Structure 1
């Protein structure tokens, strides 16, 4: 498979992932707006912060390192699939171990919520841990699907699972509201169970079929999906196992950075459960675009860079054609996410109050909510750039460099936790966002230095993607001033008609920014049209 073929497949995967995330987050966005009218903010705080943290920590620590290692180029070597599958099944006992350890911490070391305001906490901890272990049953199937670009499988399975989860939540919230945390525990078990079922049914049907033969799929029966030793071969690929261990040490630190504010809230009690609920709702709202666009791009193009570049080799030792296309893709991705981040920062300031009022009413739009969302809009810009830069860096690093980066991650993790604790005492929930911004800035600086050194011996300069055209910057600046004045004049306690005027002003400014991008960023628009959405380009041709 050539690098252009890989790019075409990865671009299709990225576009499907973006559409999937938009649909799924739209459903969960509506679900949250609905449940806000029926449950207390204390219950939301426990579910969205503490229990979700338990689940995400369990799953991330159990599988992230395996995913990163097995999606690298070594996974393309067919005769190693037996060892790779054996390695991936280690996620299950690892998940059981983490589930037991984390459940003990969540039940016996942390402050317990009021059983009258938040009933059935103990059972919910066990059920959320069980749902994480249940999801790990599909891990070998997930990696196989990603490597072989089974895009529709991911779209269909996550769509069905999310719709089922939302349906169960709505039904139980309306008809069994006294169940408390059982509502969200049952919905989460349905979600992970349906995910596993979809992957299992697909591969049972696919293996041994004519389609599998045409695609030269390396496995031929369901029995080959189960762990076993091949004659004359080691149980696992030890080179891949060592790389997994390197990524595991890194993933532990990355999890602290990713969920750092939740760890601080959970272990240091800097905010009440109600305030945690409000912060998490604003945090989820502010990160919607990051989940819609940035995360699918990062996941998909990590596969592209890992397949096209030889891990650990300098730029002169790579195939120059593949280095060229990697540099072009990196430059355009940086430009794309930077512009999206700038747009969110500019318009997020003027429309934070209106969005929160429409979404959650006075529960979110009063107090620190609007200020929190405005700060988070600026953080999204850093989040966007960091996702793409680390996506490239982690795909290009050698195992030794990955190990060395673990020390950097350790320092960043410690500094982030300290900053979060100190800044939260000074600025409340906003302190979490400020700590995230400072920490993300340091991570970006490290990645930019690595990319600069990587491409320095060559003629390619992908970091030029961080320099938008002056005309686009001018239109963004004008839009920032106009929308800020519009908020003062028309929003947000002066009736729906003036709110509509404020919205129309923002829409007009957004169209102006979009026009400026189309006129001046021709390389980017060509990349989006031909690389990210190649299917639509073919149809038009």
Structure 2
């Protein structure tokens, strides 16, 4: 498969992932707006912060290192899939071990919520743990699907699982509100169960099919999906296993950085359960674009960079055509996320209060809710740049460099936890976002230095993607001033007509900014038109 073919598949995967994440965020957005009318903010805080943290920690520590290692270096063609499958099944006992340890901590070492306000906490902990372990049953199938670009499978499986979860939540909230945490625990078990079932049914149908035989799929029988070994063959691919261990040491630190504010809230009790609920709702709103645009791009193009570039080798010792394609793609991706991030930062400042008032009423728009969302709008810009730079760096690093980077992550993690604790006492929930911004800036600095060094001996300069055009900068500055004045004059306690005027002013400013993008960022426009949009349209038809 040529680098252009890999780019085409990665672009298709990114388009589908964006569509999938948009649907997820919209469903979650509507679900949260619905449940806010029926359950307390304390219950939302426990579910969305503490129990979700338990689940995400379990699955991340159990599978993230395996995913990165098995999808690196064209694992689907260079490695023995029988041994990779055996390695991937280790995620299940590892998940059971993490589940026991984490459930013990959540039940015995953390503060237990008031059972009158948040009932059935103990059973909910066990059910969220079981949901995490259940999801790991699909891990070998997920890696197979990703390595062979089965983009439709992921979209269908996760869509059905999310629809089942939302339907179950709504039904239980309406008809069994007294169940408390059981509502969300049962719904999450349904989600992971449907997810595993979809992957299992797909491969049970696909492996014996003529399509699999014609495409030379590496597995032929259902038995090949289970752990086993052939006579005289090693049980595991030890090269990939060692790389997995390197990523595993890094994944723990990355999880602390990703979910750092939840760890601080959970273990240090700096916010009440109710305040945690408000913070998490605002955090989810602020991260919508990051999750349904930036994260799918990062996941999809990590696979592209990992397949096109040879891990651990410098630019001169690789195919120059492949390196050139990778550099051009990296530059366009950096420019894409930079433009989107700047637009979010500019318009998020002037429209945060209005968005929260429409979404959750005075419960969210009063207090520090608007300030939280305004700060998060700026954080999204850093989040976007870091996602793209790190996806390239992790695909290009050698195993030794990955091990050294673990030390950097350790220092960043320690500073993040310290800053989160100190800034939260000083600025409340805003302190979490400020700490995230500082630490994200450190990670971006490290990645930028690595990319600059990587391409220093080549004619390509992909970091130019971080330099917006002067006209775009001017358009953003003018829009920031106009929308800030519009908010002061028309928003947000003056009736719906003036709110609509405020929205109209923002729409005109946005058109002005997009016009500047169309006029000045021609390379970016070509990339979006030729690599992202056509793949999505082709699959739709």
Q: 1:537 to 1:15 in 2, by over 3 A?
A: closer
Aligned to 2:118: 118
2-side partners of 1:398 and 1:533: how far apart? 33
Aligned to 1:25: 25
Aligned to 1:266: 266
Aligned to 1:459: 459
1-side partners of 2:358 and 2:13: how far apart? 33
Aligned to 1:436: 436
8 Å contact from structure 1 (residues 475, 516) kept in 2: yes
Q: 1:536 to 1:20 in 2, by over 3 A?
A: closer
Aligned to 1:476: 476
Aligned to 2:300: 300
Aligned to 2:149: 149
Aligned to 1:41: 41
Aligned to 1:159: 159
Show structure 1 runs of 4+ deviating over 6 A: 536-540
How far the C-alpha of 1:216 sits from its partner, in A, is: 1.1
8 Å contact from structure 2 (residues 15, 536) kept in 1: no
2-side partners of 1:5 and 1:125: how far apart? 45
* Superimposed CA distance per residue, residues 146-173 of structure 1 (whole angstroms, 9 cap, x where no aligned partner): 0111011000011100011000000100
> Structure 1 residue 210 and structure 2 residue 202: aligned?
no
2-side partners of 1:20 and 1:215: how far apart? 26
The two structures have a TM-score, normalised by structure 2, of: 0.99
SS at match of 1:66: helix
1-side partners of 2:121 and 2:539: how far apart? 53
2-side partners of 1:485 and 1:288: how far apart? 26
8 Å contact from structure 1 (residues 45, 280) kept in 2: yes
How far the C-alpha of 1:34 sits from its partner, in A, is: 0.4
SS at match of 1:270: coil
Q: 1:443 to 1:171 in 2, by over 3 A?
A: same
Aligned to 1:424: 424
How far the C-alpha of 1:136 sits from its partner, in A, is: 0.1
2-side partners of 1:197 and 1:78: how far apart? 29
SS at match of 1:178: helix
> Structure 1 residue 283 and structure 2 residue 291: aligned?
no
2-side partners of 1:41 and 1:77: how far apart? 50
Q: 1:79 to 1:70 in 2, by over 3 A?
A: closer
* Superimposed CA distance per residue, residues 37-69 of structure 1 (whole angstroms, 9 cap, x where no aligned partner): 000000000000000000000000000000000
Aligned to 2:384: 384
> Structure 1 residue 81 and structure 2 residue 89: aligned?
no
SS at match of 1:378: helix
SS at match of 1:487: helix
Aligned to 2:174: 174
2-side partners of 1:101 and 1:270: how far apart? 24
Q: 1:222 to 1:231 in 2, by over 3 A?
A: same
* Superimposed CA distance per residue, residues 10-51 of structure 1 (whole angstroms, 9 cap, x where no aligned partner): 000000100111111101100000000000000000000000
How far the C-alpha of 1:344 sits from its partner, in A, is: 0.3
2-side partners of 1:109 and 1:537: how far apart? 51
8 Å contact from structure 1 (residues 529, 537) kept in 2: no
8 Å contact from structure 2 (residues 11, 535) kept in 1: no
Which sits farther off after the overlay, 221-230 or 60-69?
221-230
8 Å contact from structure 1 (residues 78, 218) kept in 2: no
8 Å contact from structure 2 (residues 346, 479) kept in 1: yes
SS at match of 2:80: helix
8 Å contact from structure 1 (residues 63, 91) kept in 2: yes
How far the C-alpha of 1:213 sits from its partner, in A, is: 1.3
Q: How many residues align?
A: 540
SS at match of 2:230: coil
How far the C-alpha of 1:79 sits from its partner, in A, is: 5.5
8 Å contact from structure 2 (residues 15, 535) kept in 1: no
How far the C-alpha of 1:537 sits from its partner, in A, is: 7.6
> Structure 1 residue 189 and structure 2 residue 189: aligned?
yes
8 Å contact from structure 1 (residues 530, 537) kept in 2: no
How far the C-alpha of 1:229 sits from its partner, in A, is: 1.4
Aligned to 2:498: 498
8 Å contact from structure 1 (residues 353, 370) kept in 2: yes
Aligned to 1:4: 4
8 Å contact from structure 1 (residues 349, 377) kept in 2: yes
How far the C-alpha of 1:538 sits from its partner, in A, is: 7.1
> Structure 1 residue 219 and structure 2 residue 219: aligned?
yes
Q: Give unpaired runs (5+ residues) of structure 2.
A: none
Aligned to 1:336: 336
2-side partners of 1:393 and 1:99: how far apart? 31
How far the C-alpha of 1:536 sits from its partner, in A, is: 6.2
2-side partners of 1:439 and 1:301: how far apart? 23
Q: 1:79 to 1:494 in 2, by over 3 A?
A: closer
How far the C-alpha of 1:77 sits from its partner, in A, is: 3.0
